Structure 1
Amino acid sequence: MYILKDFQETAVTSLLENTYTALKEPTKQTPILLESPTGSGKTVMMASYIERLVDELQLKPGYNSNVAFVWLAPNTLHIQSYHALQNLYSDTQKLNCIDLDNLGSNPILNAKDLLFLNWSSIHSAKNIWRKDNETNTNLETLIENTQANDTSIVLIIDEAHLSAFSGKQAIAVRNLIEADVEVLVTATAHNIQRPQLSVFVPRQKVVEQELIKKGIRLNIGLNPEEQNGENVHMHLLRKAFQKKEELKALYAQELGDNKVNPLLLIQLPSDNVSLSSEDKSIRDTLVGLLNTEYNVTTQNGRLAIWLSGEKDKDGIEDINAMQDVMIFKQAVAQGWDCPRAAVLVSYRTVNSPSFGIQTVGRILRMPHRKHYNNDDLNYGYVYTNIEATRINFEPSDADFINFQLAKRKKDRGWGFDKINSAQIVNDRTAKGVLTSTFQTHFFNLMEQRFNVAMLPDVDLFTTEVEENLKEAKEANLLAMQQNGWEFNVDDHQIPIPVDIEADPYIVNSIMVNADHTKQFAITMNQFNTMFERFCYDNITRLNRSKSWKKLRDVLLFFAEYYLGLFEHEAKRIYLFPQNRRLLEELIVVALERFEQWQKAKGNEKRRVEYASWEVPEYRYYSENFNKQYIENHAMEPFYEYISVSSPEKRFKEFLEANSEHIEWWYKNGDAGKEHFAVPYIKQADEKLERPSLFYVDFVIKFKSGKIGLFDTKTKRSDLDAPKKHNALLEYIEKVNQEANNENLLGGVLIEEPIDSNHWRFCANRIEDTKDLTGWEFLKPELL
């Protein structure tokens, strides 16, 4: 039927093991995650998983061997999966692939049935398959009949990151199906709370098996000297089409003529499903250019359209299909399999300065599932008008973080005490959003820096007032010119990164230096978009999507109220490179002032609350942690940060050396509600104090029953260490007093610089961590 690659076999085996664990759980709907990159063969892996699960359950005592499957997918992806699995099972006929049309009245799923659905057919109670009717042809009856027949249900959720866990109706459907196991399949789990049972396929494993390309090359060969006065949109398309033709020639050299017709994808900029005015303008321009210069049209079949209401793309997935270009928005980012897609033109919108890896993933498949001798064919090519010195790849296929699971040890008979942990709560409204008050802060800053004043009100009928306005404007312009501003601005260009090579799955951000940036001329419409993007990018401390328009308005108001410049001229002045650098610094300072004001205003509502805490049952670690096996650590395995501090590493050795006196110890995290913390007052700046959280490094359960809360330092390494230590002592005293015992102890720990591994802590308040006079030695044997 099919032969799995090594990484696929490993993933399927892990899925099966997790499924057997899930089926033993006392409750239903136990989730299992399969996270694997675009192009790694998730459908093939799931086909093998389903077939082997059916076979193996019959051989495992204690399991119900009658199992049926429901495959849920967004849009029409369930049809694609239905045909794919039907084809894969055509030889063995072990699974019965069906859809809603195959079900009659009073329906039931029998063992080995595999039902394919899409969300839109069942997501609403108004859908036919959710309504009560005379023939009982609905989802509820289907599930009741299936369960009454003692048939277990495994729910497979394809593209699970989209809405399966956020939409109310999707949750209602999952609860209605009430599957024994829910298998979540996705290339990107960033919208999903990672379940305890998870399987991850690193992208590098897929590259090694030559199923996908090595990476992407960004704006290769883009040169402003070839722009010849046309707008960037058209220039990008020319370069992209040229690259497509070059790749076609390389395929011909390696494989023979007309074996592969590489496809050029064009992504319109807005995030809305419907076409925006910007989308329509760009689309009309591109369609015209494709027609007149390349003879690529929908009429002759060389241009495909995948937009709302237009889906002219029949046969496009074929390796040598006639379509040369396809125009799309978001839909192509989900589940679409077209291995000949090779070049992507992506026009960026103001609030989308990053690349979604799922979209880039469309051009990373290999047409023949192998790498070619000519290495240029082993990369995808992206052309974009992104204007940035840093390129971000959103974690859509976030396998550049290889999550590792640790579990709390349950077989030692250890007691894991529950203690109260602090968390910060703040009820202030509009947290992190720029408000109208920002205008006052920005205007005040500009007045202070440049000694400018707001222009007087204009009265067109008073010559004297008009003269005063002119003098005031000239004075303000001169004051800013003397401080580095340039107002004699004519030409405008934008810097675009060129000749960049990157693996978007390995890094999520790469810096672009001056050698890889070139200036391109822009049109007026592009210039307006450029200014909006500038405002969006410069909201660095707050919610960008909710704040950038306020920044834009304030900048334009300043230009009008202080410099007498109106919108178009103001934008040209602001974005002139010399002025832009000055303005960026001013915005940073103004945002800092606004944020300090906002924090001070909301600080009265910032408070500490407590919740019960214990060593977590499960904890995930990124690939930045190394695995170790330590007998007394509360979780197995123990994961140590690759850049662990010397004090933490030495204290871990101290704990291992004293293991006979310690029941267990736990290396705490440094952020988040899942980790233990105590409150302390932090000096946010010279004027503002605020409640903050102190996460101790180690929680230790001694064999005497005492619990130690310790944080490792070196002398004077942390200026806030005395505050943290004293706050921890206050917490310990309060807990001990309420419990009427002395079970808690702890504080800041500092190693005594002698040959042996000795640590000292203070049972009293401290003023610094330099003088250790009176500090006690930590001796587990005495505790």
Structure 2
Amino acid sequence: MYILKEFQEKAVDKLLSHTYEALGQPARQVPILLEAPTGSGKTVMMASFLERLTDELPLQPGLHDNVAFIWFAPNTLHIQSFQSLQQLYADTSKLNCIDLSNLSASPVLHPKDLLFVNWSSVDSLKKIWRRENETSTNLETLLEKTRANGTKIILVIDEAHLSAFTGAQAVQVRRLIKAEIEILVTATPATRPQRSVFISRQEVVNEQMIKKGVRLNIGLDPEQQNGENVHVHLLRTAMAKKEELKELYEAELGPNKLNPLLLIQLPSDNASLSAEDKSIRDTLVGLLDMEYGISTSNGRLAVWLSGEKDKDGLEEPNGFQDVLIFKQAIAQGWNCPRAAVLVSYRTVQSPDFGVQTVGRILRMPHQRHYQHDDLNYGYVYTNIESSRINLVPADADFFLPQYAERVKQENMLFDTLASATIINDRPSKGVLSSAFETVFFNLMAQRFGVRQLPDLDLFTPQAAEQIEQQTLLNREAFRQNLWEFDIDEHQIIIPTDIELDPYEVNAIVLETNQVQRFAITVAEFKTMFDRFCYDNITRLNRSKSWKKLRETLLHFAEYYLGLFETDARKFYLYPQNKALLVPLIAQALERFEAWQAARGNEHRRVETKAWEVPELRYYSEVYVHADAVHHALEPFFEYINASDPERQFKDFLAQHANNIDWWYKNGDQGKEHFAVPYTNLQGELALFYVDFIVKFKSGKIGLFDTKTRRSDQEAPNKHNALVAYMEQENATNPARQLIGGVLIREELGGVITFRYCSNRIEDTNDLTGWNFLNPAELA
């Protein structure tokens, strides 16, 4: 027997209402979402929903009440769900829980049957339950006989965010079943259908079913590192926290009632162990054995890896195991409320994976909060750098990129614009070649005004002086652009002693006093730099290109800055420098890709698509939270190296807020941002990303790109292309008026003004005839 919490009752009521509404329509495969955080009791809610549905369907006028259910889940999670619901229905027998082994030859589903299936049983035509056979024991026969009896099917898809809608075979199986309704159950949905039921984490916290939040790197201190690598220091600190929690549990519950479990997550995303995984694992296993007496031989160390699954008894409150080493598998469906501390060596990139994993340490062992508040939090220790650790308030748990959402106001209208993208008919090879080095060197030379160091055969005092002088000039050019050269071994900036509130957007903002620097060994620098190069190949074949990127970066450091391998890696990985380097790599890759594609394809063309201000936009670590008035996305993130005209125009918009509905700071590359096509000075087809899109109270839309006089040789070409674009759009849609162009800042009598031209221009120096932008006059 089970009793639902208040939020669970409300969720079940909404699910039933959506289901009755959907069943009354002729459409099939109608999706209904239950979005609920880990630990909220999704299985119990679904058990209640299915039971009430079978009871109430006969009472709903006009609805078919002859219904059976199929419950799909990934891996072996269906077994866990099967056992749970079988136990929940033990007293009432309202539904008949079965699995494939319970079905006989020529199988059929009867009303109130609930069949549990894992995707891997039916995800290929080669699987037994998909093949034709003499006894007709297959999915096709099951469906055919079930429908012949007049029984309709409702599908329940557990962990629906995984592959139910993206995997080709999963989609094919869903089409084959063609259920009346598909109930999607997940904590992290990829999409939200029209009929959705959402349970917030705060509701679950209020019922004391899960912990209040996450405390990150509590007690992590570089003074205690003592020359050891960060991996070891993280584990030592986490073990100390585990022992501290055990003492608190004993004080509150009594001795030997609960043994908090420490989880260790290895780095790579692959199912198999990488060389890095093995190295870290060997180091940690040795430390656990030698210093803490924890090993697999005495049963205190459990392992959940590919080919190794030693986890019997883990879920028991006072289980003997103290530590579990794992990778991805633990992220799905594992229920171990005593899990309390997570040591994560991952570079977490998947939103679903991050939320699912941290959810394992957020369950409350006794479904209530404890008197000692330290027991009401999960503890995470990680070497992931601060700029990459942020929270998503809705889902909660951990490690997602900082993001902003579109403002939701009834009177806020976001117009659709035609945005351009450039298409190449013939794909490029997508692999970095030696030509990339030239592309990167040229980009850096243009950006910073640096010159390659003299290549002198004779090493004379005069030659050495030339090299030294050019090195100093080049380094100074970088320093003027905020690059740092005075670097020691303390390079990893890690958040320490932070209590994260997963319901406040501001929780993603870290202050200077919330981070500390930790030392990195030479070997770690090499590994980190390799991973950095690998991660930054975003546009091409990553596995075949990252080594060329590494070679290019090391050569640039040597040929322009006089830095050799070890010092070059330190220079590039210094957080301030790394944030500046990432967009430069992206630009160089884009230039190389365009060059490579153009070599074999002269048929570049422009295609347009409908664009509007995005509902959600992610920002990298080179953006920081800043104040803004009427920005279309909240919170507002500003590029750390935003130009003075951009910052001043943002202030100008704030001063004229009464005449503006909203404004949006556009991105400068990528298909997700607004772009206008133009022909550059080299006669090539290119894209122009305006800086600002402004919706005035008058209904007019301004497209502006902030410049200073003669700051961009391409400005006239970009401006004229934008004018042509606006003329065409205004003629096509007379009800909407676009204005704008290149925007030049002027200071007259101590007052900052901005001017733009409605006509085509030849340069940005002579502003004769240019309009003064005055939002009040645009009505």
> 3-state SS of the aligned residue for 1:553?
helix
Residue pairs, 1:620-659, within 5 angstroms: none
587-596 or 342-351, larger mean C-alpha shift: 587-596
- Secondary structure of 1:356's counterpart equals helix
C-alpha change, 1:142 and 1:648, in structure 2 (3 Å) is farther
Partner of 1:427: 423
Change (3 A) 1:557 1:225: same
Note the alpha carbon deviations across 1:346-394, whole angstroms, 9 max, x for none.
Answer: 1134978998121111111111111112111111111112234442457
Contact kept? 2:501, 2:507, Cα under 8 Å: no
Cα distance 1:572–1:155, how it changes in 2: closer, same or farther (>3 A)? same
User: Out of 525, 549, 565, which is 1:570 matched to?
Assistant: 565
Identity of aligned residues (%): 53
Give the residue type in structure 1 aligned to 2:500: A
1:307 to 286, 305, 308: 305
Aligned to 1:46: 46
RMSD over aligned Cα atoms: 5.0
Q: 1:383, 1:51 → 2: CA distance?
A: 42
Number of positions where the alignment pairs a residue of Structure 1 with one of Structure 2: 687
2:369 is equivalent to residue 371 of structure 1: yes
The answer for the alignment partner of 2:270 in structure 1 is 272
Choose the corresponding residue for 1:324, options 322, 325, 330: 322
Cα 1:294–1:55 change in 2 (3 A) is same
Alpha-carbon distance in structure 1 between the residues aligned to 2:106 and 2:339 = 45
> Which residue number in structure 2 is paired with residue 217 of structure 1?
215
Corresponding position: 1:711 with 2:700: yes
Conserved in 1, the CA contact under 8 Å of 2:23 and 2:180? yes
Q: Whole-Å Cα distance in 1 between the matches of residues 664 and 585 of structure 2?
A: 37
Contact 1:214 1:378 survives alignment (8 Å): yes
With over 3 angstroms needed to count, the CA separation of the structure-2 counterparts of 1:301 and 1:163, relative to structure 1, is: same
Task: Report the residue type matching 1:181 in the other structure.
Answer: I
Deviates more, 1:524-533 or 1:389-398: 389-398
Distance 1:205 1:163, change over 3 A: same
Note the 1:1-20 alignment, pairs <5 A.
Answer: 1-20=1-20
Amino acid at match of 2:182: E
Counterpart mapping for 1:515-664 below 5 A: 515-535=513-533, 549-559=547-557, 570-576=565-571, 581=576, 585=580, 588-589=583-584, 591-592=586-587, 595=590, 605-609=604-608
Match of 2:290 among 274, 289, 292: 292
- The aligned counterpart of 1:228 is 226
Structure 2 residue runs of 5 or longer lacking an equivalent are 618-631, 637-652, 668-672, 709-717, 741-757, 761-768
1:114 partner SS: strand
726-735 or 93-102: bigger deviation:
726-735
Mapped to 2, the partners of 1:745 and 1:221 lie a distance apart of: 61
Change (3 A) 1:581 1:641: closer
Q: Does 1:514 align with 2:512?
A: yes
Matched, 1:172 2:172: yes
Q: How does 1:44-83 map to 2 (within 5 A)?
A: 44-83=44-83
Q: Report the secondary structure of 1:161's partner residue.
A: coil
Query: 1:746 — aligned with what?
Result: 736
Cα distance in 1 for partners of 2:130, 2:615 equals 41
| Correspondence for 1:416 | none
CA distance in structure 1 between the partners assigned to 2:732 and 2:185 by the alignment: 48
Task: Report if the CA contact (8 A) 1:694-1:724 is conserved.
Answer: no
In 2, the alpha carbon distance for the partners of 1:371 and 1:436 equals: 60
Question: Which position in structure 2 is the counterpart of 1:128?
Answer: 128
**1:449: how far off?**
4.2
Q: How does 1:694-733 map to 2 (within 5 A)?
A: 710-711=699-700, 727=725, 730-731=728-729, 733=731
CA distance in 2, matches of 1:393, 1:576: 29
Counterpart residue number, 1:334: 332
Deviation at 1:222, TM superposition (A): 1.0
Provide the rounded CA distance (Å) in 1 between the counterparts of 2:520 and 2:704.
57
Contact 2:314 2:336 in 1 (8 A): yes
- Distance in structure 2 (CA, Å) of the matches to 1:180 and 1:718: 57
CA distance in 1 between counterparts of 2:573 and 2:690 reads 42
| Larger displacement relative to structure 2 (712-721 or 20-29) | 712-721
Question: What's the CA shift for 1:326?
Answer: 0.5
Q: Verify the 8 A CA contact 1:648 1:712 in the aligned structure 2.
A: no
Match of 2:646?
A: none
Distance change in 2, residues 1:264/1:470 (3 Å): farther
Change (3 A) 1:544 1:439: same
Q: Say yes or no: does 1:21 pair with 2:12.
A: no
- Structure 1 window deviating more from structure 2 (280-289 vs 530-539): it is 530-539
Partner of residue 357, structure 1: 355
- Opposite residue 747 of structure 1, the aligned amino acid is Q
* CA–CA separation in structure 1 for the residues paired with 2:80 and 2:465: 67
3-state SS in 1 of match to 2:157: strand
- Kept in 2: contact 1:716–1:770 (CA 8 A): no
Alignment match, 2:383: 385
Residues 244 and 477 of structure 1: is their aligned pair in 2 closer, same or farther, counting only changes over 3 Å? farther
Aligned counterpart, 2:163? 163
Q: Name the CA distance, whole Å, in 2 between partners of 1:578 and 1:302.
A: 38
Task: Normalising by structure 2, report the TM-score.
Answer: 0.75
Q: Distance in 1 between matches of 2:125 and 2:455?
A: 61
SS in 2 for 1:440: helix
CA distance in 2, matches of 1:353, 1:157: 20
Partner residue, 2:624: none
Quote the Cα distance in structure 1 between the aligned partners of 2:164 and 2:562.
Answer: 53
Q: Which has the larger radius of gyration?
A: 1
Larger deviation: 360-369 or 527-536? 527-536
1:531 CA drift (Å): 2.0
* Contact 1:496–1:518 (8 Å) recurs in 2: yes
The question of whether the paired residues in 2 share the 8 Å contact of 1:729 and 1:747 is answered with no
2:256 maps to 258
SS of the residue 1:241 aligns to: helix
CA contact (8 A) 1:305 1:311 kept: yes
Q: Distance in 2 between matches of 1:33 and 1:649?
A: 40
Q: 1: distance between equivalents of 2:50 and 2:680?
A: 55
C-alpha distance after superposition, 1:461-517 (max 9, x if no partner): xxxx5x449986775355324635999988565333211221456549734433233
Q: Secondary structure at the match of 2:389?
A: strand
Matched position secondary structure for 2:735 = strand
Aligned counterparts of 1:290 and 1:19: Cα–Cα separation in 2: 52
**Gap change, CA 1:682 and 1:144, over 3 Å in 2:** same
Q: 1:648 to 1:771 in 2, by over 3 A?
A: closer
Measure the CA separation in 1 of the matches of 2:26 and 2:127: 32
Shift of 1:3: 1.8
TM-score, reference length from structure 1: 0.74
Find the aligned partners of 1:492 and 1:179 in 2 and give their Cα distance: 58
Which deviations, in whole Å up to 9, do the C-alpha atoms of 1:588-621 show, x marking residues without a partner?
556546646767987973524478x9xx9xx997
- 1:780 paired residue number: none
Give, as a single letter, the amino acid of the residue that structure 2 aligns with 1:217.
R
Give the SS at the match of 1:235: helix
User: Offset of 1:298 from its aligned partner?
Assistant: 1.7
Deviates more, 1:205-214 or 1:50-59: 205-214
